[in-house]
Amino acid sequence: MQSEISNQNPEPNPEMSVSSYSVNVCSFEKLVEHELSSYLKHLNSLGLLSVSLKECRNAVSSGIPVVKSSKSCGRPKKEKRVVRDSDIIADLTAQATSAVPKKNASMTAEEKAEKKRIAAAKKSEKAEAKKAAKLAKLKTKEEEKAKKALLKAKLAEEKKEKKRLEKEQKDLAKADKLAAKEKLKAEKNAKSKAELERKSKEAKALKKQFNLKDMPVPEELTEEPILNDEGETIGSKVSSFNLPQEKTMIEESIKEVPDEELPEGLEHFKHKSRPNEILYKDTTNDIFVKNMETSELEHIAHYDKESDSLLPLSEFDSDEELSELSGDESD
């Protein structure tokens, strides 16, 4: 390069400026790269790229390359087998002893027949074994089918028996409920009969108390028909009926009662079944009567609006029990 520059400019003129020199940058870069590559190759050949800087300086100053021992890596190489005469003789002897003598290619007719007979016997044995296995499998399948049918019939019988027992239990429960209902009904009738007898006795006692025997009783009672506006008979009445004396007294006493203060939730009440008593009714249609001796209210009955009748306490309780029983039966 220096020679080329010297050839181009053999006699440099000091008067010329530095900017007058033209340099090819691409050629200069290639030149520098080539020089550096050769320098690195030389360092690598001397073994200076894989050592410390100190060792590299010593090697450059002395000119002796650095020798670095390479580490062994990879699979170890196998040793080459040395074949000897004894090995060759041993191999040949082994081949001679292990060789199987070949049969004669030609077979007699008897041997061929024997061979065919043996093959046929094997084939027949194989077919019989296959047939026996098939029969055993079919027999096992039939046994399983019979077991399933027997189990199915047993389950159906058990289900039928279970339904029968459930039906019997339901019938027994229904019979018990009907018996209880009939018993309550009989008790209700007995209590109603006793209540009616008690009322008749009370009526007789009241009759004696107010001296109803002294009242003039007509010898013969005559009934008169009750006519409506169209002239049709709708009922009858006694012509000589007179209002009893005690009823007039009760009505006068009832007229005087409203002046007194009633307990909260109570009101005066009249009913045809007890015309001679002062009755009180609360918001739940319970009927009370005032005891003249103790001046306390006694709960005697329950008023039924639908039938316009007074239900005794025993009868009302029985109806409640029957309604509870009917509710349980519907459940």
Predicted local distance difference test score (pLDDT) of residue 88: 84
Helical H runs in 210-307? 245-256
User: With pLDDT > 90 as the criterion, what percentage of the chain qualifies?
Assistant: 20
User: With pLDDT > 70 as the criterion, what percentage of the chain qualifies?
Assistant: 67
As a whole number, mean pLDDT of residues 24-47 equals 85
As a whole number, mean pLDDT of residues 276-284 equals 82
What is the CA angle 227-233-238, rounded to 5?
70
Closest residue by Cα to residue 310 from 278, 271, 277: 271
- 267 phi and psi, to 5 degrees? -145, 160
Number of other CB atoms surrounding residue 185 within 10 Å: 12
Contact 291, 281 (CB under 8 A): no
Task: Answer whether residue 143 shows pLDDT above 60.
Answer: yes
Q: Cα 298 to chain center, whole Å?
A: 57
Task: Answer whether residue 263 shows pLDDT above 50.
Answer: yes
Contact 285, 302 (CB under 8 A): yes
Predicted local distance difference test score (pLDDT) of residue 264: 72
Contact 190, 203 (CB under 8 A): no
Contact 301, 312 (CB under 8 A): yes
Closest residue by Cα to residue 304 from 315, 294, 293: 315
Task: Answer whether residue 207 shows pLDDT above 80.
Answer: no
- 204 phi and psi, to 5 degrees? -65, -40
H or E segment to which residue 135 belongs:
helix 109-209
Report the range out of 54-63, 151-160, 257-266, 303-312 with the highest average pLDDT.
Answer: 151-160
Report the range out of 6-15, 61-70, 233-242, 284-293 with the highest average pLDDT.
Answer: 284-293
Q: Where are the domains of the chain?
A: 27-62, 140-209, 244-330
As a whole number, mean pLDDT of residues 206-235 equals 64
Contact 249, 209 (CB under 8 A): no
User: pTM for the full model?
Assistant: 0.24
Gap between the Cα atoms of 28 and 35, Å rounded: 11
As a whole number, mean pLDDT of residues 272-291 equals 81
Gap between the Cα atoms of 201 and 198, Å rounded: 5
Contact 39, 48 (CB under 8 A): no
Rg (CA), the chain: 69
DSSP letters for 141-197 = HHHHHHHHHHHHHHHHHHHHHHHHHHHHHHHHHHHHHHHHHHHHHHHHHHHHHHHHH
